[in-house]
Amino acid sequence: YKRQERQYAVAIDGPSGAGKSTLARAAAEALHILYVDTGAIYRTIGVYMYRHDIAPTDAPAVTASLPEITVALRYDEEGLQRMYLNGEDVTKEIRLPMISKYASDVSAIPEVRAFLMELQRSLAREHSVIMDGRDIGTVVLPDAEVKTRARRRFLELEQRGTPKPFDEVLRDMEQRDYNDTHRAAAPLRPADDAIMIDNTDMDFAASLELLLDGIRGRVAS
């Protein structure tokens, strides 16, 4: 990544399936800045709980295990984010289907969010970044120069080759959205100063250009 004349942070949030990660990754590449997938960080915590047979909804047990966990984020030669759990590369394991539920549950625990907050903020202090997640603009990077909120639900079933029926996947997404908007710790909501990106009727190229226009406009001002 080449150094920018001005360092800045972009926070992208929105509900499940809104295309946050796809757009954020492409925008980071176009702007030559660092992309941070914050969901992968919570998935890494989920992997630890899964491996140690700790129920992700058992807040006291999860919290008690945090001192035993070291989470690191690195980038490979292609610039792709890789996640490390206590020194072990778990990039593939965090994408296993059962880890999604673990990640969602542990992310609702305030102590877990506080535990990972400094890791995310330190990345923004050291680099120009685009971070996507569900509370990036309101909690993790409230002072980010640019905040955007994605609305569109991307239908990625065919691309991912998921064996789940569409209706089942849609129900899972809606349940995650409900849980995230009603949780006590950092509930999902748009930042007051967020740019709304409504790309319901746009293809990917137009969606990306809309996002880049918003970022460039805020950074320039």
Contacts 24+ apart (CB under 8 A), 201-209: 202/152, 204/22, 204/23, 204/26, 207/19, 207/23, 207/152, 208/23, 208/26, 208/27, 208/30
Tokens of 125: 């202090």
Q: What is the reported pLDDT for 204?
A: 81
pTM of the model: 0.71
Dump pLDDT digits (tens) for 75-86. 888 888 999 999
Q: What is the reported pLDDT for 183?
A: 56
**Predicted confidence (pLDDT) at residue 215 exceeds the cutoff of 70:** yes
Task: Tell me what percent of the residues of the chain surpass a pLDDT of 90.
Answer: 37
Residues 105-124 have a mean pLDDT of 91
**Predicted confidence (pLDDT) at residue 66 exceeds the cutoff of 80:** yes
Q: Name which residue leads in pLDDT, 148 or 107.
A: 107
Coil/strand/helix, residue 168: helix
